[in-house]
Structure 1
Amino acid sequence: MTRSAKAGRLFGDHFLSRLAAEEQAIVANVRRLAKEVLGPNAAAVAQQDVFAWETFRLLAKEGVIGTAFPRESGGTDARQVLRIRIVEELGRVCSASASIVTGADLSCRAIVAGASDELKTELLPGLCRGEIQAAFALSEPGAGSDVRGLATVIRREGDRYLIDGEKKFITRGTTADWFVVVGRAEHDPDCFIAVLVPRNASGFMIGPEVGKLGWAGVPISSLEFRNVATPVANRLGQEGDGFNLAQDALVRARIGHAAMALGRAIGAVEIATAYMADRKLFGKSLGEHQGAQWMLAEMVTRIEASRALVQLAAEKYDGADPDAGIFASMAKLQATDLGMKVVTDALQLTGGRGYLQDFPLERFFRDAKLNQIGEGSSEVHKTVIGRDAVRRARDLERHPCLKFESLVDY
């Protein structure tokens, strides 16, 4: 039997059984695209950091972009438990493909959740079909995951808002037609407002694309707002809803980052094990050496454990569980840190071959780092998780092995 005729995968499909038949069909189609088009073209996409238009148009045409949009707008309104399977499949072969899908959700979530019916009717069908694009303008030179640190000011003047501020690290900045901008109300710094700004707004400047280490195909740029006017009708939600809209988008994006990192880790292990079967070392294959087997054992075990955590985070989000945000942080922290380690170890197993640019692990290695940084660095999420655990511990049931007096008196 030739290798091309072999079937099956190293990592099982145990999570697919939890999806409906229609959802499983979507995953199957994404797998087909990854196998036939996206995987074979991934190296070429990574050659230059310009927006991967062909990839974007293919994902839009096949309805993958549409999984982030409501059915009434032409989408499929996918649950997070489906989206993590999609992103995992794409991340397994191509970071740009996975980022385009997660980015469509991040950039449009606030529109789906907070736009007026008129704006939804005007924009969502085109965004769903990939005819137009939106960008999520949140991060600033002095504020990223900490939304409360935003310095952009939005003030109302009659039937319009005026915006002053800067945004940084904005994906799709050079390709978007509309921008979701989050800032502070001038009259109340504790009030956050989200508005839509068209690309051609007067006083709105889009900076040049900035080169980066990896994730080619989804370039970033900076934005500048100088007394930029947008109608009050372009507000998303009510005044004061900007923070919650941003947080909702970030929670979804963090789950997406976790799934993408796991997909890349899965792909890295698959590539490394294929190499281990071919590479001969001291009279036997690399895969027959105990040291290599132990490295592999740790990788596959931790990946499967992380997949379970990401699945749980997605289920909590779909169920509107109040702990969804914390579990998204835990999933992102664990999966992205693991993804970096797994890709590094997989490259180590493949030796000099893995370090070459024509071998996919070199690209995987460069791409893995951003998952640990984007939508909140690992350190930020450690702080968020630890702070939450300390807060909850104050009100929890006393452990049965402890006395009831102060523990400092032990």
Structure 2
Amino acid sequence: MPGTVVGASLSLDPGSPMATWPAKPHVKLGVTGAEPVLSETEREMQRSVRTFAEKVMRPVGIALDRMTPEQGIAKDSPYWDFRKEYLKLGLNPHSLGALSNEERGRLLPIIMEEFGWGDAGLSITIGACQLPSMMALLSGNSFLIERFPPESIGCWAITEPDHGSDSLDVSGQAFHAQGVYGRPNCIATIKGDEVVINGQKAAWVSNGPIAEVCVLYCAADSGNGPDPKRGCTILVPMEAPGVSRGKVLDKIGQRPLPQGEIFFDNVTLPLSYVVAGPDDFQRAVHAIHCEANCQMGAVFTGVARAAFELAHAYAHERKQGGVPIVRHQNVAYRLFHMYRKIEASRALVQRVSLFNACAPVPALHAAMTCKITGTQTAFEVASDAIQIFGGNGLAREYPIEKIFRDARASLIEDGCNELLALKGGFNLIHPDAW
């Protein structure tokens, strides 16, 4: 017949790539979705941390969530069993610092995502423990590096009773035109070869009730009055005379993370404990937030993944209308968008973490995208997961309600997402623009 092609076939050439596919292709994704090939080190570390997250973090996190804050830090608390097991992993700024910049930039978000998958609050306590040691290394101060080994329990004190996310805006970019910072609640006065600290930090100091060392960010007074734009970053031993603590905070989410006020009453230290003085303060703020924002993004990508996995499994088990609810269009649609958001969050966090690890100066606005995207994803995915669970999602019998509470707290901690977005937007402006 006219138009017939001699030798035409309706079958694929046996040597073509598609010919090896199943007749009805269906790809089972990896544990973390469409993950590219990992190096042997990355794969082994991911497996080791995931086992720790599953066997230690999850059960301890659930137990601590149901305790009072005081019970959570008592000597017989399971928190200390968790910490003992965590130290066995050997993951800290010193061991990670021995890696190349590229290796560290690739490995750290993988590790932190697995921690987040295990438990959000315990992930933050891990991160807070590391910050003093990390800042000592970044400063190059050999005295502080030796004085506070990575096994020390660290805390990070920056927010104050009258100053929350504005503590991150030392340049005043996001302030209202008529706004003023007001008097700081904590001031470091530099006197000769000593620094004297007075005041307090707010109840949201992560690890405050249990810390051995505090990385303190506060206003400095060099003789002309306190100036929050020219502050001080100091590693404060918590046993120093004049340091005291408030009660452990009782809160809605991330209850395994102990938080509480710290008070300073004429705490006097040699200048050798200062990481960054007034001239270097903005560098120190930049450094710690680049690190914290990337880690927050990774942790809460893991939290989102945990919520998704619970909802995905439940949707296959729960039946309505005679079929598993995953067969209902809206449930399948919802699950797809949950999965999509997690993939996008993970890709962003891993990309920025690698960039910042290898760049001469890390990009804070890039790190802010990680924190905002990761935490917003966790909150949205956890909320959608509760909708899939229906009424069961509101019951403490199911872990999704705890994950939702943990995720909600993340939109505020380490700088509320609204202020971070404003700061990130201003950082996108070319310095010479007017």
Q: TM-score range by the shorter chain?
A: 0.7 to 0.9
After TM superposition, the structure 1 stretch with the greater mean CA deviation from structure 2, 333-342 or 93-102, is: 93-102
Aligned pair in 2 of structure 1 residues 103, 323: CA closer, same or farther (>3 Å)? closer
| Offset at residue 338 of structure 1 (A) | 1.7
Partner of 2:175: none
| Offset at residue 159 of structure 1 (A) | 2.5
| Offset at residue 242 of structure 1 (A) | 2.9
In the alignment, the residues of structure 1 paired with residue 106 and residue 327 of structure 2 have an alpha-carbon distance, to the nearest angstrom, of 36
In the alignment, the residues of structure 1 paired with residue 30 and residue 259 of structure 2 have an alpha-carbon distance, to the nearest angstrom, of 35
Contact 2:131 2:215 in 1 (8 A): no
Contact 2:208 2:262 in 1 (8 A): yes
Q: Normalized against structure 1, the TM-score is what?
A: 0.85
Partner of 1:334: 373
Partner of 2:131: 106
Q: Structure 1 residue 320 and structure 2 residue 359: aligned?
A: yes
- Cα RMSD for the two superposed structures: 2.6
Partner of 1:404: none
Select 2:198's aligned residue among 141, 164, 167: 164
Q: Structure 1 residue 54 and structure 2 residue 81: aligned?
A: yes
| Offset at residue 364 of structure 1 (A) | 0.3
Name the SS of the counterpart of 1:217 in structure 2.
coil
Name the SS of the counterpart of 1:92 in structure 2.
helix
Partner of 2:176: none
1:190-209 matches, within 5 Å, as 190-209=229-248
Q: Structure 1 residue 138 and structure 2 residue 158: aligned?
A: yes
Select 1:38's aligned residue among 42, 57, 62: 57
Q: Aligned letter for 1:163?
A: I
Select 1:63's aligned residue among 90, 100, 107: 90
Contact 2:120 2:300 in 1 (8 A): no
Aligned pair in 2 of structure 1 residues 143, 75: CA closer, same or farther (>3 Å)? farther
1:79-118 matches, within 5 Å, as 79-114=104-139, 116-118=141-143
Aligned pair in 2 of structure 1 residues 110, 358: CA closer, same or farther (>3 Å)? same
Contact 1:87 1:101 in 2 (8 A): no
Partner of 2:408: 369
Partner of 1:224: 263
Number of residue-to-residue matches in the alignment: 379
Structure 1, residues 180-234: CA drift from partner, whole Å, max 9, x if none?
Answer: 2222321252432222222222222211111111112211111122221011121
Partner of 2:215: 180
In the alignment, the residues of structure 2 paired with residue 183 and residue 79 of structure 1 have an alpha-carbon distance, to the nearest angstrom, of 30
Structure 1, residues 333-359: CA drift from partner, whole Å, max 9, x if none?
Answer: 122112101100001101122111121
Q: Aligned letter for 2:412?
A: I
Name the SS of the counterpart of 2:200 in structure 1.
strand
Contact 2:125 2:206 in 1 (8 A): no
Q: Aligned letter for 1:56?
A: R
Structure 1, residues 90-145: CA drift from partner, whole Å, max 9, x if none?
Answer: 21131233223222233432222126212212322xxx2x3x31222211122234
Q: Aligned letter for 2:192?
A: G
Name the SS of the counterpart of 1:164 in structure 2.
strand
Name the SS of the counterpart of 2:262 in structure 1.
strand
| Offset at residue 46 of structure 1 (A) | 1.9
| Offset at residue 179 of structure 1 (A) | 1.5
In the alignment, the residues of structure 2 paired with residue 270 and residue 70 of structure 1 have an alpha-carbon distance, to the nearest angstrom, of 31
Q: Aligned letter for 1:133?
A: I
Q: Aligned letter for 2:313?
A: A
In the alignment, the residues of structure 2 paired with residue 10 and residue 32 of structure 1 have an alpha-carbon distance, to the nearest angstrom, of 13
After TM superposition, the structure 1 stretch with the greater mean CA deviation from structure 2, 32-41 or 310-319, is: 32-41
1:114-129 matches, within 5 Å, as 114=139, 116-124=141-149, 128=150
Q: Structure 1 residue 248 and structure 2 residue 287: aligned?
A: yes
Q: Aligned letter for 1:171?
A: S
Q: Aligned letter for 1:61?
A: K
Structure 1, residues 277-311: CA drift from partner, whole Å, max 9, x if none?
Answer: 11111111101111111111111112111211111
Partner of 1:22: 41
Q: Structure 1 residue 357 and structure 2 residue 384: aligned?
A: no
Partner of 2:427: 388
Aligned pair in 2 of structure 1 residues 263, 269: CA closer, same or farther (>3 Å)? same
Structure 1, residues 66-89: CA drift from partner, whole Å, max 9, x if none?
Answer: 2x22568x9999724312111111
- Higher radius of gyration, 1 or 2: 2
Aligned pair in 2 of structure 1 residues 393, 182: CA closer, same or farther (>3 Å)? closer
Aligned pair in 2 of structure 1 residues 195, 75: CA closer, same or farther (>3 Å)? farther
Name the SS of the counterpart of 2:208 in structure 1.
coil
Contact 2:197 2:265 in 1 (8 A): yes
Specify every segment of 5 or more residues in structure 1 that has no aligned partner in the other structure, as ranges: 1-6, 396-410
Select 1:236's aligned residue among 275, 283, 288: 275
In the alignment, the residues of structure 1 paired with residue 358 and residue 430 of structure 2 have an alpha-carbon distance, to the nearest angstrom, of 21
Structure 1, residues 224-281: CA drift from partner, whole Å, max 9, x if none?
Answer: 2222101112111455223322321122111111111111111111111111111111
Aligned pair in 2 of structure 1 residues 193, 321: CA closer, same or farther (>3 Å)? same
After TM superposition, the structure 1 stretch with the greater mean CA deviation from structure 2, 26-35 or 150-159, is: 150-159
| Offset at residue 323 of structure 1 (A) | 6.3
Aligned pair in 2 of structure 1 residues 226, 393: CA closer, same or farther (>3 Å)? closer
In the alignment, the residues of structure 2 paired with residue 186 and residue 378 of structure 1 have an alpha-carbon distance, to the nearest angstrom, of 30
Name the SS of the counterpart of 1:359 in structure 2.
coil
Q: Aligned letter for 1:98?
A: S
Partner of 1:210: 249
Identical amino acids, percent of aligned pairs: 25
Q: Structure 1 residue 343 and structure 2 residue 363: aligned?
A: no
| Offset at residue 329 of structure 1 (A) | 0.8
Aligned pair in 2 of structure 1 residues 75, 232: CA closer, same or farther (>3 Å)? farther
Q: Normalized against structure 2, the TM-score is what?
A: 0.80
